A and B are shown apart, each in its own frame.
Chain A
């Protein structure tokens, strides 16, 4: 019953998200209305937070971790837009009982030891190269709007940070993304 309600409301959320964002944007007096500067200043801490929180909604295949206590490693490839916000978020969270750690890297492949990779702009490895290198591996690739898409692709709708999910890519890597997370996505590329 609740499960049914959740999926129904999940689809409703996805369909209604844009309309709500527009409504909020068209109401300048609203408490939620924020200036562009404020929005931009909040955007990356929110994304940093999400990046950490994704870990709790994703299930990696067992070989991805050495031990049950092995940390979930979040790597930022290339330029780091999060700064200390990511480290704070990582420190404040756990995922499935595992600690979360953040690493900055300039190049990535399947053997780098990352579980989540924020694919930024790196001088050593282009975003497309990185995504190709990680395709089909149990590494959750996160990309930002305006570039190629990873498994999770951030978008800003209205004044809110949202995301698209490519569940097919995730399943190719042996990962399972919680339906609860899928229900929040703006769009979901279903498993083939």
Chain B
């Protein structure tokens, strides 16, 4: 609105200057004409004055000749005036009005008799008649008649033409200025309009950029999901194997009494379970939607941790060789992004090796010169395949978003662009080196971090049961099998567990009996109230009663963390359960004490 109002008001203003210019021209013209008129009048007055003075002088000089009838003397005086070229005719008349002396230029005539009168302009001549009087007495002796040439009008106009020319020039200058101003105004309006258009298109561009960023984010997420999809087959297969190990192990456990054999079987089952837990936790971490969370980590450990995931996501005909020396410098990266990047490169390598091959992942400490993509110390991670390689043109575009050589439905073209994005956001650099038939090497350069290593995620503790504790635990769990197992685990830890299968039931139990040391609740349950709501309710009703939540859903876990609730992620082992229960009780105790 305001944007359109500005040019509007400008349009209103625009004719002002030309109007001023026009007015100035008119004023100048009027001034010029009045000046000319004034000058003309002044000229006439001056002429009259000059002629009068001339006539007065003549009258004074011819007074004596008139008094003593000396026409000759009068004539001499008259002729003396002839030297003045402005004088056209002179006549001296006696007291009776008869002419006694005269002088006429060619073509001039003089009246033979004269009478006094006012100065008269006629035919380019000014006629002045002055009385001749006796000095000191005013006694009339006669008249003098003087006719002077008045400068022709043409010549005077010529003189005024100079002034006129100046006025004309001033008018032209003003007119040019006026036109220029108008043009400038128009140009300004045009510029303003263009600036508005530019701002408009800029805004559109920003909107488009925001939309594109959103779309890219969505695509990145979907790309993650695609990767997960690829994993799923392998993961299911793996889980089946694990379940096979576990179930057959349990069967064999029932049929043997040999303690040594039983211990071996238990170890096999436990290992299978650990692998399964590791797989699921990696999958959860991988699918978690999170902002970049840089951590200072040891690359070797991270890549090592990825091995299982890589094994699952690649085919069986592809071998992975890790060459990670000790003493790599720490780097500051978002671990999830890093893992995704490695996975993306590996998947690309896999696709480049349809007949199987070897992927070598190596790392080394390097130093970049000033001016190189990563100056100073950095860690170089190379992922090399023995695949079909790429042409130079493809290698040059391989990091562009949506660039893909894969068939429709087989790739999004986002995989390597994620790698590029990860490298950039880590202040690092990525490059691909390839030649057709000779495989591809992707190098990621990550700058060395001088910060201390971030706290390592809790590693599994000793398998021995923690020290026995005492207390009552209200367990809220809808799944009977899980409930049975967990209550046994709690009993093993020294707790007496009561069970409620829904949140409502749990509140009823608490209403009757509050002598519990802890409420341990699942988060996702049937019924109107889930674990989170239950925890809030308990916190409101029984502020001193600690609540520990548990879930296998990463999303629910994030919500609980957002509420500041204590959480234990499924699946968990008995050690983790013991530690979490203890921590929850301690926290409740300190908060109660401080309250």
Query: Chain A: which residue is nearest B137 at the CB level?
Result: A94
Contact A8 B70 (CB under 8 A): no
- Asked whether any CB of chain B lies closer than 8 Å to the CB of A6, the reply is yes
Q: How far is the CA of A7 from the CA of B478 in the complex (A)?
A: 152
Q: How far is the CA of A16 from the CA of B79 in the complex (A)?
A: 14
- Asked whether any CB of chain B lies closer than 8 Å to the CB of A64, the reply is no
Q: How far is the CA of A161 from the CA of B71 in the complex (A)?
A: 12
Query: Known: A57-B64, A178-B64, A180-B64. Contact between A10 and B137, CB under 8 A?
Result: no
Query: Chain A: which residue is nearest B81 at the CB level?
Result: A5
- Asked whether any CB of chain B lies closer than 8 Å to the CB of A66, the reply is no
* B-chain residues with CB within 8 Å of residue A93 when the two chains form the complex: 134, 137, 139
- Asked whether any CB of chain A lies closer than 8 Å to the CB of B196, the reply is no
- How many A-B contacts at CB < 8 Å in the complex? 73
Q: Pick from A96, A97, A160, A180: contact of B61, CB below 8 A.
A: A180
* B-chain residues with CB within 8 Å of residue A160 when the two chains form the complex: 69
* A-chain residues with CB within 8 Å of residue B61 when the two chains form the complex: 2, 5-6, 180
- Asked whether any CB of chain A lies closer than 8 Å to the CB of B76, the reply is yes
- Asked whether any CB of chain B lies closer than 8 Å to the CB of A183, the reply is yes
Q: How far is the CA of A104 from the CA of B137 in the complex (A)?
A: 25
Contact A9 B136 (CB under 8 A): no
Contact A5 B137 (CB under 8 A): no
Contact A8 B80 (CB under 8 A): yes
* A-chain residues with CB within 8 Å of residue B68 when the two chains form the complex: 50, 53, 163, 181, 184
- Of residues 58 through 110 on chain B, the ones whose CB sits less than 8 Å from some CB of chain A are 58, 61, 63-65, 67-70, 72-73, 76-77, 79-81, 83
Main secondary structure of the interface of B (DSSP, over half): helix
Q: Pick from A56, A97, A184: contact of B70, CB below 8 A.
A: A184
Q: How far is the CA of A64 from the CA of B137 in the complex (A)?
A: 19
Main secondary structure of the interface of A (DSSP, over half): helix
Interface centre among B64, B70, B80, B137, by most chain A C-beta atoms within 10 angstroms, is: B64
Query: Chain A: which residue is nearest B141 at the CB level?
Result: A53
* B-chain residues with CB within 8 Å of residue A95 when the two chains form the complex: 134, 136-137
Q: How far is the CA of A160 from the CA of B77 in the complex (A)?
A: 19
Q: How far is the CA of A2 from the CA of B55 in the complex (A)?
A: 11
Contact A184 B73 (CB under 8 A): yes
Interface size of B by Cβ–Cβ distance < 8 Å? 23
- Of residues 1 through 60 on chain A, the ones whose CB sits less than 8 Å from some CB of chain B are 2, 5-6, 8-10, 12-13, 16-17, 20, 46, 50, 53, 56-57
Interface size of A by Cβ–Cβ distance < 8 Å? 29
- Asked whether any CB of chain A lies closer than 8 Å to the CB of B42, the reply is no
Shortest B136–chain A CB gap in Å is 4
Q: Pick from B76, B77, B79, B136: contact of A97, CB below 8 A.
A: B136
Query: Chain A: which residue is nearest B58 at the CB level?
Result: A2
Contact A94 B72 (CB under 8 A): no
Query: Chain A: which residue is nearest B63 at the CB level?
Result: A180
Chain B 354-390 interface 0/1 with A at a Cβ cutoff of 8 Å (1 = within): 0000000000000000000000000000000000000
- Asked whether any CB of chain A lies closer than 8 Å to the CB of B258, the reply is no
Chain B 101-136 interface 0/1 with A at a Cβ cutoff of 8 Å (1 = within): 000000000000000000000000000000000111
Contact A16 B139 (CB under 8 A): no
Contact A5 B139 (CB under 8 A): no
Q: Pick from A9, A17, A46: contact of B77, CB below 8 A.
A: A9
Shortest A20–chain B CB gap in Å is 6
Shortest B62–chain A CB gap in Å is 9
Contact B64 A181 (CB under 8 A): yes
Contact B136 A56 (CB under 8 A): yes
Contact B137 A6 (CB under 8 A): no
Contact A56 B137 (CB under 8 A): yes
Q: How far is the CA of A55 from the CA of B137 in the complex (A)?
A: 11
* B-chain residues with CB within 8 Å of residue A13 when the two chains form the complex: 70, 72-73, 76
* A-chain residues with CB within 8 Å of residue B69 when the two chains form the complex: 46, 160-161
* B-chain residues with CB within 8 Å of residue A16 when the two chains form the complex: 72
- Of residues 20 through 75 on chain B, the ones whose CB sits less than 8 Å from some CB of chain A are 57-58, 61, 63-65, 67-70, 72-73
Shortest A103–chain B CB gap in Å is 21
* B-chain residues with CB within 8 Å of residue A183 when the two chains form the complex: 64, 73
Query: Known: A178-B64, A180-B63. Contact between A17 and B137, CB under 8 A?
Result: no
Contact A10 B134 (CB under 8 A): no
Query: Chain A: which residue is nearest B83 at the CB level?
Result: A5
Shortest B119–chain A CB gap in Å is 20
Query: Chain B: which residue is nearest A4 at the CB level?
Result: B80
Query: Known: A183-B64, A184-B68. Contact between A97 and B137, CB under 8 A?
Result: yes
Ordered by A's residue number, 25 sampled pairs between the chains whose C-beta atoms are within 8 Å are A2-B57, A2-B61, A8-B80, A9-B76, A9-B80, A10-B73, A10-B76, A16-B72, A20-B72, A56-B67, A56-B136, A94-B134, A94-B137, A95-B134, A96-B135, A96-B136, A97-B136, A97-B137, A161-B69, A178-B135, A180-B63, A180-B64, A183-B64, A184-B70, A184-B73
By Cβ-Cβ distance, the 6 closest A-B pairs, closest first, are A9-B76, A5-B80, A180-B64, A13-B73, A96-B136, A94-B137
